[in-house]
Every structure is written in structure tokens, then in C-alpha cells.
Structure 1
Amino acid sequence: MSILPPGVRPAPPRPRSPELRPVAHQFRPTEKPVRHEPGHASRALRAAGFGRAVAWLRPADRRVLWLYLLTRISLWITAHGARWLFPRGSDVREAGPVLVPFQQWDANHYLHIARDGYFPADAGPWMDGWDNREAFFPGFPLLLRAVHVVVPSWTAAGLLISLVAGAVAVLALSRMASSYVPEDTDGRRTALFFLLSPCAVFLAVGYTEALFLAFALPAWLAAQRHHWATAAALTALATTVRVSGLFLAAAIAVLFALSAWSGKGWRGAAWLALPALPPLAYSWYLHTRTGDWMAWKHAQERGWYRDFHTPWEAWKNTWNAAFEGLHTTGYAAMFQAELAAMVVGLVLVALLVRHRRWPEAVYVALSLWALGTSYWYVSIPRATLLWWPLWIGLAALSLRRPWFRTAYLCMAAPVSALVALAFLTGRWAG
């Protein structure tokens, strides 16, 4: 009932700004963007294909990307300080080249593969001193070689790949977070926990984590929407980068089965076999050169002690390496981090099972099994970057317990800085 005087018509409601629309409305795939009369510049951008890209980035996406850029700048500042404060040598008067801190450990393996191939000059595992490079899947080295055609520096090419891939990954994670945790409307809280995680440095260097997530997280988003062909194709790309792509494929298969049993039908099941093709092709290639179908696995065993041991044996060996004085303090500290990451992973799997998140539980559990059945634990802290349920869960916990966000940031910030310094100064960091 109107309370205005007779003859007085109410003013029409003011149109709401697109930024103020409910988040659920922004996520509708059928929503059409508001049309504006384009000027000359707008028409030129649209003709060049930029208009669609700009429309795809919502204000929430731009906020997440701004956070991503700030954390990249903080890591570059850390790398600059590492060059000057921790030079190699006791009487150094000049800092090393700008990009040297980023070219450490596995980044050198990827460089050698991209530059020289897997078996240069007929060298291979039959030779003494072989670097076991076939343990690394070809996706990242192939892309590195392609980018190097445009970017002369190998290190800069690797950094560029991770920079772009990391942006794609953090956008996908933020969108995923809003579907799991509606209160995290723009996903920025989840992105913050992820980007300030203890091993965040590996997202910024020439490693595979950022590129893997750039394929894996959009694949999971597609699977959630039952776009099985897209999910399978993206997962196949992920398996070219890391064997973890097979764990993702298993999780998507579980999600597909649950969807089919709920009445969605089994149409699209054939796509689930697609992610197995890249590992099979890589195994075939290695077999043609070495006669060994599992050459990549055997290279991991030779170089990184990844031969099978029971979980309790692996825990015991890692515990001894961490606390029994068998290694220098730097290595011992990293083995302690391996133990802590294993505990976090086990708790995460238990919580996922408790909440009946079966596909996510399968994904994390397979990762733990692969990493937790070697002689000792290696690279589990770095693998936490790939466990998206962990970062979404921490964001959800911080929304229920506001004090947790402050506590996490106060603890994660120094640990992240220490791990970054360890890596950037050439020390083992997982």
C-alpha cells in the first residue's frame, strides 16, 4: 500500500551497479553483459578481441589479480635481497645477476631438458653420473622451449610461464572457492591463504606447480559443471606436466560416477580415458630410447629414493633424518617440514571423508600415498600447493573463527619468507 499523497507517483528505482549484484547472479553462465554504445576506441578493442577478455574479468577477478601481483612483487623483493644479503662467498663485493636466485634445483633440470632434450648425444641412464632427467614429465620443458623462441633468457622464460599460469590458477581457485564457501563471495580470502602459503615461492619460479594448477583447477571447475569433455581435455594437459594429473583424473572419475548414480546418466564416460594418453605416450617414448616402460619411475627411484617402502617405514626414515642428527641443520629442517605436511594431509583427508567429499578425498589421498611410500618424504610441503581443498577449507575456518585468519598470517608469513630465502639462496627447500 502506498503512503504517498494522491497523484504523486514514486520515483523509478535507480539501476543497481553491476558491482553490487549478488555473486550468484554474476556466476550465471547465461548472463549477457550490459550493452553500451561503443565509441571508436571501444570498437577497436572489440575488433581486436580484447572486449570479450575484459568482460570475462569481473571486478572480483581484478581484485584477486591485484592481490596476486602484490605477492609476486613481494617475492621479487625477497629475491633481490637474497642476492645482496646472502651472496655465495665470504668476500663478495657485487651481487650476482638478477635472475640467478630463481634458477635453482629442479629449474635446472627443466632447462636442460628444454635446451638439450632427454637424451643428448646418446647419453642416458646407462651412463655414470646421469642426472635422471627422464623423471620429469615433458609438458613444462616443451612449453619452456616454445617460449624461449620469443624470450632469449631461459630463466626469464620459465618465470613468464609461471607468472601467467599462476594468474590463471589463482583466478580459477577464487571462483572455485565461492562455490564451496558462499561467504567467500569473491574468493579473495582463499586466494590470500593460498598465495601466502609456506611454499608459495614455487608458484613464482620455473617449476611445474603453477602450470599444473592452471590446467587442473579449470578442469575441476568444468567437472563440477558436468562439462566432461572440457574437464578431460584440461586434465590431459595437466598429466603432461605432472603425474599428479592422474590423481586428478581419478577424482574426476569419482565425481562423474556420483553424478551418474544420482540420475545424470553415463553419457560422456569415454572422455574419462583421455587423461591417460599423455603418460602412456611419454612412457612409450622412453621405452623406445631405454627399453623400459617405467623409465620415469625408475629415474625417480635412482635420483630421489622414491622406491617403494611401507608408510610406517617412510615415516620412520623421515623422522630419523629430521631429528637424529644424520644431516646438516638445513636438510633436517626440511625433513621436519615434510613430517608436518604429511600430518596436515592426513587431517585434510579425514575431514574430507567426514564431510563426504569423496572426489577431493581421493585426489589428496592418492597424492599422499605416492609421496608417503618412498624411502623418506620428499616434496610434500610443495605438494600442498596442489591441494585446493586445503586452502578453501582454511578460508572457511577463518570465516567461522575470525581469529584464525590473523593467526595463520602471523605464522605463515615468516615460514613463507624462510622457505623463499632457502630456495633463492640455493639451499634445499623441498
Structure 2
Amino acid sequence: MTTLPPGLRHAPPRPGSPELRPVAHEFPPVRKPVRQELSPASRALRATGFDRAVAWLSPADRRVLRLYLLTRISVWIMAHGARWLFPRGSDVRDAGAVLAPFQQWDANHYLHIARDGYFPADTGPWMDGWDNREAFFPGFPLLLRVVHVIVPSWTAAGLLISLVAGAAAVLALSRLAGSYVPEDTDGRRTALFFLLSPCAVFLAIGYTEALFLAFALPAWLAAQRHRWALACTLTALATTVRVSGLFLAAAIAVLFVLSAWSGKSWRGAPWPALPALPPLAYSWYLHAHTGDWMAWKHAQERGWYREFHSPWEAWTNTWNAAFEGVHTTGYAAMFQAELAAMLVGLALVALLARRRRWPEAVYVALSLWALGTSYWYVSIPRATLLWWPLWIGLAALSLRRPWFRTVYLCVAVPVSALVALAFLTGRWAG
């Protein structure tokens, strides 16, 4: 037998000793879990799956969305101030409807198309005073008509579309930023530059920029991952919203070819042709009503002087409109912004080509060619919202040069406020 050490030796307990008496262990009473009743709002969110969608978002996504919502609030504050401080008329006692500042310019075209169609009561471009509404692609008006079934106000329906689409777009942009600039891990810096850009107000109103980006940016993300079917399907949806979708399709085609030449499979070759189908279908529809396959292009020429001119003619005409006193100061200022945006775009294309970012360079260059060969420049500042390499590049520059962020915000924020104020008070803002 093994002898125990002295410190562990002890006699076995005697019967009846305390060591052998049963000990009554007291356990806490078992309590049934209390079932908490959900509020009607919580039940509604759970029924729609909203709670699961929020749980799906990463902390970085939530930070970006908080920034997005804060900038939306700032636009609404500005719209409220515009109603009261800058009414139309010097002796106004009523600030007008709450949503009135948002229903300006092209928003009225989308409303008319969604409500009445393209050619109501056999009207069309053969009539005097026609509004050239066929210049606008059908994606946004169709969605506006659908949302209006639930939201009675046309303006509110357009704002809701842009609010949801803008959230999807800024999330996709933040994720794109991480693939280009690893230092911008959560993409919040890129989102900040984008959401405070000079023409950011157009993301918050019933215009097409937010909806287009909600398709285009996820399409580019999918193309980067060589998911060609998804990328081209999303690009096809983007082409229903804006003709810029064709520029995106060309960039994705270049990316596909470069990928295939580098050793990837050519099996997805038919997919880049898919985005051409919606514009072809729209051209067929217009031809059936007008006999003109390019009716949308001719409507742009009639309404916005978008007939072809050489690039140097377009620059000269825009310069004269900006600085020769042929227009009022408000329009002249906008033409000055057009010239500045063209220079930014040309510098961006040159930088992308230098970095051998050929697909992105093709995308921006095609946009510049389309906008820079009209009689004069129109809507180039607004088109900068669609150039995601610009905002990612500016964020990357601010990471290398910390002082640049301060400079950018000090310049972009007041310009953004001025452009927003111009639009919300009914002045031309591109």
C-alpha cells in the first residue's frame, strides 16, 4: 500500500459523524422566463426583416450610414431655411409647402412622365411647346410610379427613392474604397468626401444620381470579383436610369477583357452585351411612337443644346457664357462651375491612365466626351457624383497629406451649401 504523507493522514469518519450527515442543498427556485411583449413598431420591423437587415450590417457600415443620415438632415435644415429666408417675392407671408423646395427643374419632368406617361393624349415632339420629356430614361419614372402607389405625394415618393438608393450607394462606395485604398479600412473617409461634395444635394432629391449609383457601384464591386452575370445585370438596371450606364458597361467590358487576357476564363463573354438591351428597348418604344430611333437624343438637342460640337467649340461657348456677360450672374456662375468640373475630369482621366486604371479611365473619359461635345457644357458638376474614382482618390490623397482633408472641407462645404441653396430656391444649379 502507498503510505500517505503526514499532512494527508486522517481517520475515516465514524457513523453518525457530521461528515456523513446528509446536507440539504438549497437551490434557487426555478423561474420561468418572462415573455416580453413587443411593441407594434417592433413587431412590424421584425415582420419586414428590418431587424435582421440591421444585424447584417457591420459596425463600419453603421458608421457610414450614420454619416449619411446626418448629411440628409443637413439638407433638410437647409431646405427649411430656404423656404423661409429666400421666398419668391419680396412681400411673401407664407413660406409654402414643406416639400416645395425639392420639386424643381428635372424633378418636374420625372413627375410628369410617371403621372402621365411619355406621350399623353397623342401629344409629342411634333407639337409647339413640347417639354422634350423623352430625353429622360424610364427607370426612375417607372419606379416613382410604383412607389407613388404607397406614398401619395409624388415629391415624397421621389425623396424616398433617393433616400434608400443613396444609402445603398454610399455603402457600396465605402466597400469599394477599401479595395482601392487599404488604409481607408471602413471607407468612411471616402464617404465623407463624397457626401460633402459640391453637388451632393442631388443625392438627396428626386433625381436619378442616387438610384443610378445604387446599381452602378454594386455592379463595379461584382465586376472586381469577376462575378460577371451579377455585374452586367446590375449595369443593365443602371442603363434604365441614365445613359451613363452604357459608359459603365464599356468599362466593365474592358475589365473583363483585361481579366481574360491575364489568364481568367472567357466563359462570361456574352454578359457584357446585356446592358445594351434596356436602351435598345427604350429606343424601340420611342420609334413606335415617333418614328425616330434616336428620339431621346434629339430631345436633348432641342431642349438642352446637346447637338454635337467639337470639344474646343464647346469650351469656347462655355467660356463666353461664363465670363463675357451674356447671361445673368447666376447662370454665369454655373457655367464657371462647368469649366472647373471639366478640368477636374480631364485631370482625373490623366491620373487614371498614368496609374493604368484603364477601365475607370474609359468610364470617366466617355462621360466627359458625351458632356463635353455639346454646344456648351451642361451638368458636368453633377456628373462628378458618378465618378467614384474621384472621391476614392481624394480620400487617398488626404491619407498621404493630412492637411488636404482640412483644405477640402473648407472649400467643398460652402460650395456644397451654395449649390444646394441655389437648387432649393429654384435657381439653376446644373
TM-score over 0.5 (shorter chain): yes
1-structure distance, mates of 2:258, 2:47: 43
Instruction: Please give the residue correspondences for 1:267-286 in structure 2 after superposition, counting only pairs within 5 Å.
Output: 267-286=267-286
Superposed displacement of residue 54, structure 1? 2.9
Query: Does residue 343 of structure 2 align to residue 343 of structure 1?
Result: yes
Q: What is the distance in 2 between the residues matched to 1:354 and 1:40?
A: 61
Distance 1:48 1:428 in 2: 40
Q: Which residue does 1:8 correspond to in 2?
A: none
CA distance in 1, matches of 2:192, 2:48: 33
1:10 aligns with none
Taking the TM superposition and a 5 Å limit, the aligned residue runs for 1:386-397 are 386-397=386-397
The whole-number CA distance in structure 2 between the counterparts of 1:214 and 1:48 is 21
- Report whether the alignment pairs 1:79 with 2:74: no
Quote the Cα distance in structure 2 between the aligned partners of 1:408 and 1:415. 11
> Which ranges in structure 1 are unaligned for 5 or more consecutive residues?
1-38
Q: Which residue pairs with 2:100 in the alignment? A: 100
Following superposition, the deviation at residue 53 of structure 1 comes to: 2.0
Q: Distance in 2 between matches of 1:50 and 1:263?
A: 42
Show CA shifts across 1:200-222 (max 9, x none). 00000000000000000000000
Deviation at 1:268, TM superposition (A): 0.8
The residue number in structure 1 matching 2:311 is 311
Measure the CA separation in 1 of the matches of 2:184 and 2:133.
Answer: 41
Q: CA deviation at 1:51?
A: 5.8
User: Where do 1:170-209 residues align within 5 Å?
Assistant: 170-209=170-209
Counterpart of 1:66 in structure 2 is 66
> Compared with structure 1, are the counterparts of its residues 55 and 259 closer, same or farther at alpha carbon in structure 2 (3 Å cutoff)?
farther
| Cα distance per residue 1:379-410 (max 9 Å; x no partner) | 00000000000000000000000000000000
Q: Compared with structure 1, are the counterparts of its residues 53 and 354 closer, same or farther at alpha carbon in structure 2 (3 Å cutoff)?
A: same
Structure 1 residues 186 and 325, CA, compared in 2 at 3 Å: closer, same or farther?
Answer: same
Which is worse superposed, 48-57 or 322-331? 48-57
| Corresponding residue of 2:143 | 143
Cα deviation per residue 1:235-263 (whole Å; 9 max; x = unaligned)? Answer: 00000000000000000000000000000
Pair 1:292 & 2:292 matched:
yes
Q: 1:82 to 1:49 in 2, by over 3 A?
A: closer
**Aligned to 2:247, what secondary structure does the other structure show?**
helix
In structure 1, how many angstroms separate the alpha carbons of the residues matched to 2:55 and 2:258? Answer: 34
Q: Which residue of structure 2 aligns with residue 11 of structure 1?
A: none
Q: Deviations over 1:157-200 (max 9, x none)?
A: 00000000000000000000011000001000000000000000
C-alpha distance in structure 1 between counterparts of 2:182 and 2:176, whole Å = 10
Aligned mates of 2:292, 2:331 — CA distance in 1 = 32
SS at match of 1:193: helix
| Change in CA separation of 1:292 and 1:41 when aligned onto 2, cut-off 3 Å | farther
**CA distance in 1: counterparts of 2:153 and 2:332, whole angstroms:** 34
CA distance in 2, matches of 1:54, 1:161: 19
Aligned partners of 1:412, 1:122: CA distance in 2, in Å? 46
- State percent identity of aligned pairs: 89
Residue 379 (1) aligns with residue 372 (2):
no
Distance of aligned partners of 1:51 and 1:155 in 2 relative to their CA distance in 1, 3 Å threshold? closer
Counterpart of 1:345 in structure 2: which amino acid? G
Partners of 2:115 and 2:427 lie apart in 1 by 24
Q: Could you tell me how far 1:93 is from its partner in structure 2?
A: 1.2
Counterpart of 1:264 in 2: which secondary structure? Answer: coil
Separation in 1 of the partners of 2:325 and 2:198?
A: 24
Residues 1:92 and 1:47: Cα distance change in structure 2 (over 3 Å): closer
Size of the aligned set, in residue pairs, is 392
Residues in 1 aligned to 2:143 and 2:256: alpha-carbon distance in whole angstroms? 30
SS at match of 1:202: helix
Question: Which residue is equivalent to 1:417?
Answer: 417
Letter in 2 for 1:255: L
Cα distance in 2 between the residues matched to 1:46 and 1:100:
34
> What is the alpha-carbon distance in structure 2 between the residues aligned to residue 420 and residue 177 of structure 1?
26
Residues 1:48 and 1:290: Cα distance change in structure 2 (over 3 Å): closer
Supply the AA of the counterpart residue of 1:152: P
Equivalent AA in structure 1 for residue 312 of structure 2: W
Tell me which residue corresponds to 1:6.
none
How far 1:48 sits from its partner (Å)?
6.0
- Verify: 1:132 aligned to 2:132, yes or no: yes
> Equivalent residue for 1:29?
none
Q: Which amino acid aligns with 2:329?
A: T
Match status 1:330 vs 2:360: no
Deviations 1:91-135 (A, max 9, x none): 011211100000000000000000000001100000000000000
Q: What is the CA deviation profile of residues 273-332 of structure 1, one whole-angstrom value per residue up to 9, with x for unaligned ones?
A: 110000000000000000000000000000000000000000000000000000000000
CA distance in 2, matches of 1:54, 1:60: 12
Instruction: Give the Cα–Cα distance (whole angstroms) in 2 for the partners of residues 50 and 113 of structure 1.
Output: 32
Which sections of structure 2, spanning at least 5 residues, go unmatched? Answer: 1-34
- Look up the SS of the partner of 2:255 in the other structure: helix
- SS, match of residue 89 in structure 1: coil
Cα distance between partner residues in 2 of 1:89 and 1:145: 33
Q: How far apart, CA to CA, are the structure 2 residues paired with 1:160 and 1:356?
A: 39
Task: Tell me the distance in 2 between the aligned counterparts of 1:352 and 1:88.
Answer: 44
Q: Partner residue of 2:301? A: 301
